[in-house]
Amino acid sequence: MKIGIVGSGNIGGTLGRHWAGVGHQVMFSSRHPETLQPMADAVNAQTGTVEEATKFGDVILLAIPFGKVPDVAQQVGTLDGKVLIDAGNPYPQRDGAVAQQVIDDPSQTATGYVSAQFSGAKTIKAFNSIYFKVLEEQAFQSEDARIAVQVCGDDEQAKATVTQLIEEIGLAPQDIGVLADGILFEPGAPLYNKNLPISEAKAILQQLR
Ligand SMILES: NC(=O)c1ccc[n+]([C@@H]2O[C@H](COP(=O)([O-])OP(=O)(O)OC[C@H]3O[C@@H](n4cnc5c(N)ncnc54)[C@H](OP(=O)(O)O)[C@@H]3O)[C@@H](O)[C@H]2O)c1
């Protein structure tokens, strides 16, 4: 697959390296693409601007601070038909008014807000609930020891694509449901940032349902 990484820090950098390592075509981007060249060279990936990465990828990983989402959405324009993986979390102290507004509004989830910003994209929430060091150190496990990665979304085909991207790097996709079910693994929720083996994560989900 062609994967554009928007925000190539802790989460974006780690995932982009993993995906390039298993043979996907990856373009890393940020506001400073020149700084990403050594990381890209190490895994035979490319670098580009945010606009270039969103044009390049059939799948776009969004891993930027939540407060920057509206600006970046406006910057890139429509993402017609592309799969957008939303890995972000709203933290008002870090992300300011945008995050506070989303948290204070019981009618929407954080990922619903992100999805509404990116017109035309098929938004799938995933990787927001795994610590980047766990992602770095505990990927590529044998099947019985895999760490759960929660995933949800409204488009089944897009969700299947992201599920495959989780499996290919030795993690265990845990299908939580439609996009609105993202509330079950957003900050403060029972499944948020637990970094559990899939069997334990399933047990928690069962208690919630
Ligand atoms: N850290 C974790 O373990 C973890 C786990 C799961 C989810 N998350 C979530 O993932 C998101 C990213 O977290 P992170 O820890 O990966 O952050 P990070 O290491 O600070 O990386 C964020 C990246 O976004 C880029 N960026 C910032 N503003 C931008 C803009 N306006 N346009 C384009 N790129 C921009 C930055 O690069 P430049 O400064 O070069 O532009 C930076 O490399 C957050 O919402 C966080 O809550 C984090």
What is the per-residue pLDDT across 50-64, written as a single tens digit (0 to 9) for each?
999 999 999 999 999
Q: Which of 11, 84, 114 has most ligand 1 atoms within 8 Å of CB, for mutation? A: 11
Q: What is the CATH number of the domain that holds 191?
A: 3.40.50.720
Specify the pLDDT at position 109.
94
Q: Which one, of 1, 16, 32, 4, lies nearest residue 121 by Cα?
A: 4
Q: Which atom of ligand 1 is nearest to the CA of 127?
A: 6
Task: Kindly state the percentage of the chain with pLDDT values over 90.
Answer: 96
Q: Is 129 helix (H, G, I), strand (E, B) or coil?
A: coil
Q: How many CB atoms lie within 10 A of CB 187?
A: 14
- 83-87, 102-106, 173-177: the lowest-pLDDT one: 102-106
pLDDT (average), residues 79-103: 96
Q: How many domains in the chain?
A: 1
Specify the pLDDT at position 187.
95
Cβ(125)–Cβ(159) below 8 Å: no
How far CA 96 is from CA of 67, 87, 105, 109, 191, in Å, comes to: 6, 18, 15, 17, 24
Q: Which one, of 121, 138, 118, lies nearest residue 194 by Cα?
A: 138
The b-or-e profile of 141-166 (16+ CB within 10 A means b, else e) is eeeeebbbbbbbbbbeebbbbbbebb
Q: Which one, of 193, 103, 104, lies nearest residue 148 by Cα?
A: 193
Long-range contacts of 25-31 (CB under 8 A, 24+ apart): 25/1, 27/2, 27/3, 27/52, 27/53, 27/56, 27/57, 28/53, 29/4, 29/5, 29/53, 29/54, 30/6
> Which tokens is 135 given?
């992602």
> Which tokens is 8 given?
């190539």
pLDDT digits (tens, 9 = 90+) for 23-40: 999 999 999 999 999 999
pLDDT digits (tens, 9 = 90+) for 142-165: 988 999 999 999 999 999 999 999
CB distance 171 to ligand 1 below 6 Å = no
pLDDT digits (tens, 9 = 90+) for 170-204: 999 999 999 999 999 999 999 999 999 999 999 99
Q: Which of 64, 91, 192 has most ligand 1 atoms within 8 Å of CB, for mutation? A: 64
Specify the pLDDT at position 144.
85
Structural domain including 148 reads 2-208
Q: Which atom of ligand 1 is nearest to the CA of 71?
A: 31
Specify the pLDDT at position 209.
82
Q: Which of 8, 28, 30 has most ligand 1 atoms within 8 Å of CB, for mutation? A: 30
CB distance 94 to ligand 1 below 6 Å = no
